[in-house]
């Protein structure tokens, strides 16, 4: 277990131990370890890195540190700036899990079911990646390259998520077979950006990576169908492909109602 006290130290350790698995809240990592699915050479504990814990708004850009928790998003000022992300945060696990789980963890895991991903995608978020070599940013859409795979280099850490809040009406919905504490059978974030005349939707758990669909507002009548058509769901233990596609169509219709009301 490596426990750096600053971002610089963390990056140095990551460069030295590229096999080290970063951990923040541990809500994904510890489950993997407990189920014996992963045995990393080392654990890089980022809980003592203050730079990752903060969020800030500068020149219209919201910078959310990788260590910001769902509880902080849900109950802090970020909720007003990123309402769909706040709604998504509310759907994550239980209060205890929301107190521990972080944005950076959700991006690191890069699950197609990651709850924070669809709302960030509809807001066009970028990911900030840091290493001893320097800092780079890339669009979240490019960062997510496959199921539980992302574009991180072995010496890099996710340091922040950058987003320019659109201010557009937006919402997030998640379907699961019980009323709390579920992994998404399917999820949807949607925003109706009148300024740009654009509808944007992103869905989870209906393809290898969260899907992204955009269309002119004028196509609102067919948009729910476009979203359902864009999905590439599978049958698994959590749900059937047919149900996922059906539910996406219903969710998209309701989300449009909410955002265009």
Partner 1 sequence: MTSAAPRLVSGRIGDVVARADGGPKVKGEFAYASDLSAAGMLWGHTLRSPFAHARIRSIDLTAALTMPGIHAVLTHGDVPGQKCYGLEFADQPVLAIDRVRYFGEAVALVAAEHPEQARRAAERIVVDYEPLEPVVDAERAVEQDPLHPDAPTMGHGYRRDPRPNVVRSIVIRHGDPNVEGDVAISGVYDVGIQDQAFLGPESGLAVPDGEGGIDVYVATQWLHVDRDQVAPCLDLRPEQVRIHLAGVGGAFGGREDLSIQIHGAMLALHTGRPVKMVYSREESFVGHVHRHPARIWAEHRANRDGKLVCVRMRILLDGGAYASSSTAVTSNAASFACGPYAVENALIESTCVYTNNPPCGAMRGFGAVQTCFAAEAQMDRLAAELALDPVELRLRNALAPGDVLPTGQRVTGSMPVAEVIRRCAALPVPEPEALPRDPIRLPGGAGNVTRGQGVSRGVGFAVGFKNICYSEGFDDFTAARVRLFLDARGELAAEVHCAAAEVGQGVTGVIAQVARTELELDEVTLAPHTTATVGSAGSASASRMTWMAAGAVQLACRAAKAELERRGELGAGDEIDLERVYRHERTTPLDPETGQITGERAHVAFACAAMRVVVETDVELGLTRVVWIGTAQDVGKALNPQAVTGQIEGGTAQGLGLALMEEIRTSDGLITNASFTDYLLPTALDMPPVVSDLVEDPEPGAPYGLKGVGEPPTVVSTAAVVSALRAATGRALTRVPVRPDDIVGL
The vertex-113 CA angle with 111 and 157, nearest 5°, equals: 35
CA distances, 231 to each of 137, 156, 213, 244 (Å): 27, 31, 10, 9
Shortest distance, position 112 Cβ to partner 1, whole Å: 15
Q: Which two tokens stand for residue 66?
A: 């990788």
210 binding partner 1? (CB under 8 A): no
> Where does this chain touch partner 1 (CB under 8 A) — which range of 49-57, 87-95, 190-198, 222-230?
87-95
- Site size for partner 1, by CB under 8 A? 34
Q: Is 170 in the site for partner 1 (CB under 8 A)?
A: no
Is 183 a binding residue for partner 1 by CB under 8 A? The answer is yes
Place of tokens 């809040």: 165
| Among the listed residues 140, 227, 247, 259, the single contact to partner 1 using CB under 8 A | 247
Nearer to partner 1, 67 or 83 (CB): 83
Based on the shown chain and the rule CB under 8 A, indicate whether residue 243 belongs to the binding site for partner 1. yes
Name which position in 82, 91, 102, 111 contacts partner 1 (CB under 8 A): 91
The residues, ordered by sequence, that sit 6+ positions from 177 with a Cβ below 8 Å of its Cβ are 185, 238, 239
CB atoms within 10 A of CB 250: 15
Q: Let me know how long the chain is.
A: 261
Q: Which CB, 42 or 151, lies closer to partner 1?
A: 42
What do you get for the CA distance between the two ends of the chain, in Å?
51
Distance of CA 91 to the CA centre of its chain: 12
Note whether 36 binds partner 1 by CB under 8 A. yes
Q: Does 9 bind partner 1 (CB under 8 A)?
A: no
- Give the tokens for residue 68: 């910001």
Q: Which of 2, 15, 151, 182 binds partner 1 (CB under 8 A)?
A: 182
- Assess contact for 170 and 190: CB atoms under 8 A: yes
Q: Which two tokens stand for residue 48?
A: 């003592």
Q: How far is CA 129 from CA 46, 135, 257, in A?
A: 15, 6, 37
Q: Does 112 bind partner 1 (CB under 8 A)?
A: no
**CB atoms inside a 10 Å sphere around CB 210:** 29
Place of tokens 């370890």: 33
| Residue of the chain from 49, 65, 70, 87 that contacts partner 1 (CB under 8 A) | 87
Using CB under 8 A as the binding rule, whether residue 238 contacts partner 1 is answered as: yes
Residue number with CB closer to partner 1 (35 or 41): 35
Q: Does 257 bind partner 1 (CB under 8 A)?
A: yes
Q: Does 69 bind partner 1 (CB under 8 A)?
A: no
Strand partners, 32: none
Choose between 98 and 200: whose C-beta lies nearer to partner 1. 98
Task: Provide the binding-site residues for partner 1, judged by CB under 8 A.
Answer: 31, 34-36, 87, 90-91, 171-183, 185, 237-240, 242-243, 246-247, 250-251, 254, 257-258
């Amino acid at each position: 277990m490596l426990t750096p006290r600053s971002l610089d130290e963390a990056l140095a350790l990551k460069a030295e131990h590229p096999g080290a698995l970063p951990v923040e809240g541990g809500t994904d990592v510890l489950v993997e370890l407990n189920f014996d699915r992963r045995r990393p050479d080392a654990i890089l504990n980022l809980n003592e890195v203050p730079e990752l814990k903060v969020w800030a708004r500068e020149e219209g850009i919201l910078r959310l540190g990788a260590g910001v928790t769902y509880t902080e998003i849900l109950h802090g000022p970020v909720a007003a700036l990123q309402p769909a992300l706040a709604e998504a945060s509310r759907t994550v696990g239980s209060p205890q899990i929301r107190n521990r789980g972080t944005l950076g963890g959700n991006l690191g895991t890069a699950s197609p079911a990651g709850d924070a991903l669809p709302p960030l995608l509809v807001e066009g978020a970028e990911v900030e990646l840091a290493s001893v070599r320097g800092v780079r940013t890339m669009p979240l859409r490019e960062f997510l390259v496959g199921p539980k795979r992302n574009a991180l280099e072995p010496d890099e850490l996710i340091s922040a998520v950058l987003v320019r809040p659109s201010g557009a009406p937006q919402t997030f919905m998640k379907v699961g077979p019980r009323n709390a504490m579920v992994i998404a059978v399917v999820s949807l974030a949607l925003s109706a950006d009148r300024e740009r005349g654009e509808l944007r939707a992103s869905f989870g758990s209906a393809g290898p990576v969260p899907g992204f669909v955009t269309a002119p507002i004028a196509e609102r009548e067919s948009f729910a169908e476009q979203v359902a058509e864009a999905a590439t769901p599978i049958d698994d233990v959590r749900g059937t492909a047919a149900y996922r596609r059906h539910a996406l169509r219903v969710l998209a219709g309701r989300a449009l109602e909410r955002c265009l009301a």
